[in-house]
Every structure is written in C-alpha cells, then in structure tokens.
Structure 1
Amino acid sequence: MNRKERADLLLKQLCNGLYEKEQAVALSLLCAVAGESIFLLGPPGVAKSMIARRMKQAFRDGKNFEYLMSRFSTPDEIFGPVSISRLKDEDKYEHITDGYLPEADVVFLDEIWKAGPSIQNTLLTVLNEKIFRNGQNTVPLPLKLLISASNELPAEGEGLEALWDRFLIRYFVNPIEDPSSFEYMITSGSSQIEAEVDNSLSFSEEEYHEWHEQSKQTTYSAGIMQTIHAIKNLINEYNQHDEREEERQPLYISDRRWKKIFGLMRTAAFINNETSIHYADCSLIMYCLWDNPDQLDDIEEIVNKGIHQGMRIGIGLEDLRQKVLRIQDDMRSFTSVKEMTDHSIKTVNSFFHQINGYSTRGRVLIYAAEYEALKMNESTMFYFSKPKNMTNTYVMKRYDRTKLLNIDPRNIIQISKGVRSVIISGTSYPLELEQDAKPLDLNHTDKDIENRIGKCIDHYQFLLDEYKRLEAEEADYINGSLFIDNRQKRALRKAFKEMRTEITDYNNEIKEIQQTYYGQG
C-alpha cells in the first residue's frame, strides 16, 4: 500500500472509539512526521489526554510521558530525579531519565502554561533541537511528538511567548456536538484509552525518520508561493486596520514560523502520496496563525482569500484581467474619436444613418447625432418610433424614462456603439456605407489592439485548459486529503466555482471587445 493508504488506515484505528476527534488526531500525526509540536485548547473532559495516549501507538514500541503541570512543578518531575549516587560519588549533576520525558516518543504536557521558568527554558531546547542537556552530556531525544494542552491561553507578561511560538499547530478541541456521537459516547462501556493498532501500520524508528527526511523533497509550484505571498500581504493589511475600528490584536508571523509552516505543507502532501504541494495544503496555514480564538474567523477569511488569489495568479487569470482592462481603456481613449469623424457612413434623409440586417419589416434608422453620442462598451436605452411620413421605416430614438412613460416596454432596447455598427443584444448590425467607402485605415495603435485581442483569445483558451486541469487535480486531492476538514473542503470548492465564473465573465468581455472592434461576433 502507498503512504496515503497506510496513514489513512492508521488514523482510522487510532480514532476508533474517539468521537469527533479525527481532525485533532490527523493533525497530531502530521505534526509528528513533520517534526513539529501541537497545542490543544479546550475545556476539561474533551479527550485531549486520550488523543496523546493514542498517538503513542502510531510508533512501534512507542513510549509516552504525560504530566499535569502546576505552579509547583519542578524539573525533576519532568526530566527525571537527580542521581544522588552520581552526585555523591562522581560529583556529577545528572538526571535519571528512565520513564520521563527524555525517554519518550510522545509527550503530553497538560496545563503547560503553569510551568515555571526552569522547565520552560529546558522545554525550549527540547522543542527546538530535540536534545536534552543532562549534566555535561548532550543527549539526542527519541521524541516524535510533543502535545501540550490547556483550557486557557498563555498569560501576557509572564515570558511565555517563546514557548507559545514553538507550537506550530494550535487546535481548538470542542465537546461532542453531533447527538448520535454523543449518545454512543455516554452509552458505551468504559473509555478505551488505547486503540488496537496493526503493527504493520505503526512506524518503526527507521520508517519514521525516512518519512520525515523524504517529505523535505516535496516540490511546489509558483502558484503555491504566490498563495503564501498573498496571505502575507493580507496579514499586513489586517494589521494596518483603521485606527477608528475596534481595537484588535495584530498578527505576527516570524520568518522561522513561515519556514516551519512551509515544511508542514510539504509533509501533508507527502503523506497524501503526492510529490508536490497542492493548494488544499495551504488551508493548513489557518491552524498556524492565531494567538486568540477571537481571530479564527478573520484568519480563515484571510487564508481562503489568499488561496483564491494564489490560484488566480498561478493559472494566469490575473494576467488576463489586466490585459482585458488595458485594451478596454485604450479603446475608450481613441477608437470612439475615430468613429465620430468617419465620413464613410452614409447619411440618409439628411439626418439619419441606416442600420442593416436588424428588421425584415422595413428600414431601421438612427439619428446620426445620437449614433455619434453612443459609447463603446456602454449600453444606452433606445425605443422604436414609426414616423408617419416614412413608409416601412422605423426610427430608433434615445429613451428617457422620466419623460416617455407610455412607451411599450417591448419596443425598448439597449444598444452600444460598434465599428461602423451598433451592438444590439450582443449582436453587431452594420451601418449603411457610402459606395466609395474604404476600409478603416488602422493606425499603429489600432494594429496593436488587434494583436492584443488575438493574444487575449489565446490566453483565455490556455487559461481555460489550465483551469480544467487544475480543477481535476485539486478536486481529487481535496476529496481525499487526510488533513483538511469538511469546512475547508467547502471553501476550496467555492473558490474554484468563483474562479470558473470569473473566467466565463472575461470570455464574455473578450467577445464584447471583438464585437465592438471588428463589428462581428
């Protein structure tokens, strides 16, 4: 079986008998393989300690250590008592570590923020370097995962910021919400502290280190990097909020933390049996940014928006948007002027231009002055009038809803200006030209626009193909990812839906530019 299949089966066995804790267990496993630590915030009695005990079984012959901190906890209770015999006989200050944190694969520290400064300082070294300084010896630790927990956040002004920063993922553990799961929990027998895990699924020491090292080779696309930049920029905008707004805590993400976040994304893709990071993996960033639960909604919005922006830039949608806008601006600046001075359009009955092809019931005319006043890419309301002195003729006149209240709505249409034409309901109808009319003499700027329209069409087709490819790849990955929850999956699907709508809108704008410029669909 591949990596994903193995991890999926392992997670299912670890979660057996745990209700609505699948995401917490999955994120804990992810942290373990990535070499990071996780903090669980939640009220007492929501299975935080049981999650840690289960995680021990992810490692073959794994050892665990757990401890409930208090203000009176001493380093000896965490790292082992001092060896009196060595102190007496060899004058060495060393801990007896058997059965304590330095010997454990999985560590659970409850109410961690109550730890004193001496414990905190040692923990920083443990988390940073995975080593323990025991007297004069520096001992490498077998530690795979450290889970900390509390029902409160670290208090400000007590020097806990450095320790708090070492927990890459911060996850809020809720009580059971689904009624059926709640019923199963309260009616089941005694709590099953340990799960039955197939030995072939758990990690040997060698396999763990192989996965940890191989995950660092996971590649990434330019779009993924653009997503990270977009999220960083959105965080800066969030921190630079209007001073008149309600005071809110700014977000600070250190360079070191960003590096660890990127490593976490690489590991998630690797465990999911991929060779490169997916946009869905960027959803994990929201677990790594918050300092207070009040920030969660804002952070979720920032991350989802950043992913959307990254995908748009990654497939070239932002480039297409800029091209379309520039063409529209240029056409508004000079093409309409050229149309106003085009004397090849035939004047009928001294005042009108004739619109060809619109009606089979007779001629359709428009006042020359009103045609010249039309603008490209901007619709104006007109209505049909049948002059008494002209047979089989209809005249299109500008409609003013404040004055012309009795006009039949069926006779009201919206038109815009084309090149020697009018655009009605998306279709271009040419104006009658003089017999000696010559093709428009395209100046350099016109030719440039023509080339750019062609490039826009090519860009759109390429972008559509890229979108279809990306959507197919990401849809499968989103559905099967082991580490993103249903809420994140819905947000990702919504982002793809919005992007498809935007692509369709730009295709319509390109068609409108074609109709306006060439006078054809």
Structure 2
Amino acid sequence: MDAQEVARRLRAVCDELAERFYERADVVRTLMVTLLAGQHSLVLGPPGTAKSELARELTGRIEGAAYWEILLSKFTAPTRMFGPIDVAALARGEYRQVFDGRATTAHIAFIDEIFKCSTAALNETLGYLNERIYHPENGGAPIHCPLIGAITASNELPSGEDSAAIYDRLLVRIEVGYLEDPSNFAALVRSAVHRPEGHTRTTVELAALQQAVTEAVPAVAVPDPVVDAVVTLRAALRRKELVASDRRWRQSVRLLQASAFLDGRTEAGEGDLPVLTHVLWDSPAQRPVVEREVLHLVNPDAKEALDLADTIEELETQLDAMAGQSREALSEWVITHAHGRLATAGKRLEQLRREAAAAGRSTATIDRVTGRQRAVRARVLTEALGVDASMVQAQQL
C-alpha cells in the first residue's frame, strides 16, 4: 500500500469517526495527526465525553495494533502497568514479569487520569513516554516498547511537580466538553434506544501506519515560508508572554509534516499551522490567544470566524442569564436580539467557508464556529421558543 493510499484511508477513518462521535471532528483529526507524528496527546475534559471509547475505536481501525488501557490512581504499581510478577516462575525460584497485554507490548495506549500516576510509577511512565523503554523489576536489560503514541486523559490539570513532568511530555492538548447542540444530544439519546445501522468501517494495516510514522511523514518537506511563519508565530506569542520550550517547538514540526501527509501532500504549508493551537498553551485560558495568533498569521477568514464566535458566545451567555424567565420574555429577546445576529453570523460563516475553500485554505476553524452557531441557534429554538429538538436537527441536515 503506497503512502497516498494510506493517507486516503486514514482520512476516511477520520470522516467515519467524526460522523459517529458528534462534535468531535477536530478532536479525531488532531488525534490522528498526533499518532502520525509519533507523539502523545492529552484529552482534557469531564468524565463521560467518550474519551476512552474514541481511543478504542481509533485503535480498532488499525489492523494488527495492540491496544492497552488503564485507569491510574495514586496507588497504581508499576508492575500493574508494565507487567505483573510471574507467580508460577516465582514458585520455581525465578523472578520474572509477564509483559503480554500490558503497556510494554502496546502499539497504542490509553491512559486515563494520567496525572494520578503514582510516585512509584512516575519514572517508568516518563521513560515509557519519552524513550519507549521499560526497565524490568529484576534489573535486566531495558525493554524497547513498540508504542506509536499514547492517548491520555484527565478532567483536571496537573497540580504537583511530579504530574507537571508528565504534562510537559504530552505534546498535544485537546479540550473536550459535553455536547452543545441540542439536536446532536437528541441524536445521542436516540442512539441508546435504536441500534444504528451498519457504518462503513475503513481500516489500515499496522505495518502501513508504522511505515507512515517512520518514513513517509518525516519525508514531508517543510519549506522556508513555513519556517518563517513559525518564527513569526513564536515572536508574536512571546509578546503575549506565552513561551514554549525549544523542544516543544522542534517536536511541533513533525505535527506539521503529519498534517500535510494526512491531507495527501508531500510538502507542509501554512494551512497546517492551526494544529499548533493544541500545542503552545499550558492552561486552557491561553488556548484562544494562541489560536487567534495562529489564524491571524495564516488564515484571515478563520480569524473573522473567531470574531463571529465572540458574538455567538455573548448570545449564549445572555441565554444562560435568562434562565427561569417567562416564555414571553424569552421570545421577545429572541426577536429583538438573538435571531437577527445569529442569522447574520450564519450567513457570513457560509460566505467565509466558500471563500476559504475556493482559495484552498483550511475550513476547520470556520466549520467549528459554524457548529457553535448551530448549537446556540438550536438552544435558542428549543429553550426559548419551545421548538422540538428533532425538528431543529431536520432543519440543519
């Protein structure tokens, strides 16, 4: 299977997972890019947002890949992660570990509550993530692990120095939340009652993915204009007092190459820079600043989309503040304030998307803001006007 076919199949996997997991298209693509770059990701969000299910489903599309997952706690022993003691061998006077089915044999790992890693397991976990090695309990030679990338998850940021060391090793950080669009939530509820019809299930062989990670992605060219854009972005973020380490910037280059590969290109372009919005922040409050600086540099129509997102967020805040008011008051607010502004934002977003697509620029940010516009519009229709969520979904299809 040639590189172009591998990229095509991986794009198909992204499309299929984005269709199955509502409001997760950007999450899916970012996780795929991170794997192609041979890096690790953190999915930051509350419980019940399909983090582990998405990791399992993504791994399930890689034929032959070994998957391992664990929920960490402050008491998780290293042997539970990397290999328990072989009791039968111990009875014979031999001290050895059983590695099958543990982190040491996994190609993709999902580590939930990563920042609850125990002190006892910290050094081995860092070695596993950094160097893909594990030092056996009996002091034998280090074991080289076949890990392509780890998907980690947490509902909170690290609070201590030990967990901060792990946080620094997770190059990509993705925020997720509960579903926002009432029509998507209605579809989720229906899926619990009615078994969904069979979906197309594209797969990629493990060997093909490994070859992409080790050969095809590193071969993607990074031209001087992209390097110059990265240098300009670093300077802009420094003016905002957002400083990332040299190591993080260097590792980010592989993400740009992976993004280009996934799109079927042999050369990275400025349109790949938006993936860095998941890399160059430490706290979620910093992410919008990073995103605006990136888009100001590479995508003016996406920057305008973010300005429209501010209007949309303002309307949603007003809707939240009106909770408990009468239907008449809500209806008046919709007529005098919300409807026109949401409609104008929706039309402008459609226009921006057409212009961006015609110019060959990424539409990912515009699509995300459009999703927010639809979600807020759906909330307005269902909560303020009493329209059935199923009818709202039908209008948006």
Question: Quick one: structure 1 residues 91 and 26, their matched pair in 2 at CA, closer, same or farther if it must change by over 3 Å?
Answer: same
Q: Are 1:53 and 2:56 counterparts?
A: yes
Query: How many corresponding residue pairs?
Result: 309
Question: Quick one: structure 1 residues 98 and 234, their matched pair in 2 at CA, closer, same or farther if it must change by over 3 Å?
Answer: same
Partner of 1:118: 120
Q: 2:28 aligns with which of 25, 40, 46?
A: 25
Partner of 2:164: 161
Q: 2:239 aligns with which of 197, 214, 237?
A: 237
Work out whether residues 14 and 197 of structure 1, in 8 Å CA contact, stay in contact via their aligned partners in 2: no
Q: 2:132 & 2:267 partners in 1: Cα distance?
A: 27
Give the secondary-structure state (helix, strand or coil) at the position aligned to 1:211. Answer: helix
Q: 2:18 & 2:65 partners in 1: Cα distance?
A: 17
Higher helix share: 2
Q: Are 1:208 and 2:209 counterparts?
A: yes
Give the secondary-structure state (helix, strand or coil) at the position aligned to 1:154. Answer: coil
Partner of 1:356: none
Work out whether residues 17 and 192 of structure 1, in 8 Å CA contact, stay in contact via their aligned partners in 2: no
1:478 alignment partner AA: S
Q: 1:196 & 1:99 partners in 2: Cα distance?
A: 29
Q: How big is the shift at 1:139?
A: 2.3
Q: 1:269 aligns with which of 260, 263, 277?
A: 260
Question: Quick one: structure 1 residues 42 and 139, their matched pair in 2 at CA, closer, same or farther if it must change by over 3 Å?
Answer: same
Partner of 1:475: 359
CA deviation profile, 1:181-203 (whole Å, cap 9, x unmatched): 1100012136989x9664xx423
Q: 1:474 & 1:115 partners in 2: Cα distance?
A: 48
Partner of 2:324: none
Q: 1:237 & 1:168 partners in 2: Cα distance?
A: 22
Work out whether residues 283 and 488 of structure 1, in 8 Å CA contact, stay in contact via their aligned partners in 2: no
Of the structure 1 ranges 164-173 and 131-140, higher mean CA displacement relative to structure 2 is found in 131-140
Question: Quick one: structure 1 residues 144 and 192, their matched pair in 2 at CA, closer, same or farther if it must change by over 3 Å?
Answer: farther
Work out whether residues 299 and 361 of structure 2, in 8 Å CA contact, stay in contact via their aligned partners in 1: no
Partner of 1:129: 131
2:178 alignment partner AA: P
Q: 2:135 & 2:285 partners in 1: Cα distance?
A: 38
Give the secondary-structure state (helix, strand or coil) at the position aligned to 2:43. Answer: strand
**Uncovered stretches (5+) of structure 2, i.e. residues with no partner:** 301-354, 371-397
Q: 1:192 & 1:171 partners in 2: Cα distance?
A: 29
Question: Quick one: structure 1 residues 225 and 192, their matched pair in 2 at CA, closer, same or farther if it must change by over 3 Å?
Answer: farther
Partner of 1:486: 366
CA deviation profile, 1:432-467 (whole Å, cap 9, x unmatched): xxxxxxxxxxxxxxxxxxxxxxxxxxxxxxxxxxxx
Q: 2:273 aligns with which of 282, 289, 307?
A: 282
Work out whether residues 65 and 206 of structure 2, in 8 Å CA contact, stay in contact via their aligned partners in 1: no
Give the secondary-structure state (helix, strand or coil) at the position aligned to 1:159. Answer: helix
Q: How big is the shift at 1:298?
A: 1.5
CA deviation profile, 1:217-265 (whole Å, cap 9, x unmatched): 11122211111111111122122xxxxxxxxxxx331111111101110
Work out whether residues 67 and 109 of structure 1, in 8 Å CA contact, stay in contact via their aligned partners in 2: yes
Q: 1:206 & 1:62 partners in 2: Cα distance?
A: 9
Q: Are 1:221 and 2:212 counterparts?
A: no
Partner of 2:47: 44
Q: 1:147 aligns with which of 134, 142, 151?
A: 151
CA deviation profile, 1:42-67 (whole Å, cap 9, x unmatched): 11111111111112113103232221
TM value normalised by structure 1: 0.55
**Uncovered stretches (5+) of structure 1, i.e. residues with no partner:** 240-250, 310-470, 491-521
TM value normalised by structure 2: 0.71
Work out whether residues 278 and 474 of structure 1, in 8 Å CA contact, stay in contact via their aligned partners in 2: no
Q: 1:106 & 1:41 partners in 2: Cα distance?
A: 18
CA deviation profile, 1:497-517 (whole Å, cap 9, x unmatched): xxxxxxxxxxxxxxxxxxxxx
Higher strand share: 1
Partner of 1:390: none
Work out whether residues 116 and 163 of structure 2, in 8 Å CA contact, stay in contact via their aligned partners in 1: no
Q: 2:194 & 2:94 partners in 1: Cα distance?
A: 47
Question: Quick one: structure 1 residues 43 and 219, their matched pair in 2 at CA, closer, same or farther if it must change by over 3 Å?
Answer: same
Once the two structures are superposed, the pairs formed by residues 293-442 of structure 1 within 5 Å of their partners are: 293-307=284-298
Q: Are 1:64 and 2:55 counterparts?
A: no
1:151 alignment partner AA: N
Q: 2:191 & 2:256 partners in 1: Cα distance?
A: 37
* Structure of greater relative contact order (alpha carbons < 8 Å, 6+ residues apart): 2
Give the secondary-structure state (helix, strand or coil) at the position aligned to 1:175. Answer: coil
Partner of 1:98: 100
Give the secondary-structure state (helix, strand or coil) at the position aligned to 1:147. Answer: strand
Question: Quick one: structure 1 residues 307 and 217, their matched pair in 2 at CA, closer, same or farther if it must change by over 3 Å?
Answer: same
Give the secondary-structure state (helix, strand or coil) at the position aligned to 2:142. Answer: strand
CA deviation profile, 1:205-226 (whole Å, cap 9, x unmatched): 3211221121111112221111
Q: 2:14 aligns with which of 5, 11, 14?
A: 11
Q: 2:195 & 2:76 partners in 1: Cα distance?
A: 29
Give the secondary-structure state (helix, strand or coil) at the position aligned to 1:137. Answer: coil
Once the two structures are superposed, the pairs formed by residues 427-466 of structure 1 within 5 Å of their partners are: none
Q: How big is the shift at 1:13?
A: 2.8
% same residue = 28
Q: 2:57 & 2:194 partners in 1: Cα distance?
A: 12
Give the secondary-structure state (helix, strand or coil) at the position aligned to 1:171. Answer: strand
2:166 alignment partner AA: L
Q: 2:194 & 2:359 partners in 1: Cα distance?
A: 37
Q: How big is the shift at 1:123?
A: 1.5
Q: How big is the shift at 1:147?
A: 1.0
In angstroms, what is the RMSD of aligned CA positions?
2.8
Q: 1:227 & 1:474 partners in 2: Cα distance?
A: 22
Question: Quick one: structure 1 residues 107 and 293, their matched pair in 2 at CA, closer, same or farther if it must change by over 3 Å?
Answer: same
Work out whether residues 39 and 169 of structure 1, in 8 Å CA contact, stay in contact via their aligned partners in 2: yes
CA deviation profile, 1:92-118 (whole Å, cap 9, x unmatched): 4x3212222112222111111111122
Question: Quick one: structure 1 residues 17 and 487, their matched pair in 2 at CA, closer, same or farther if it must change by over 3 Å?
Answer: closer
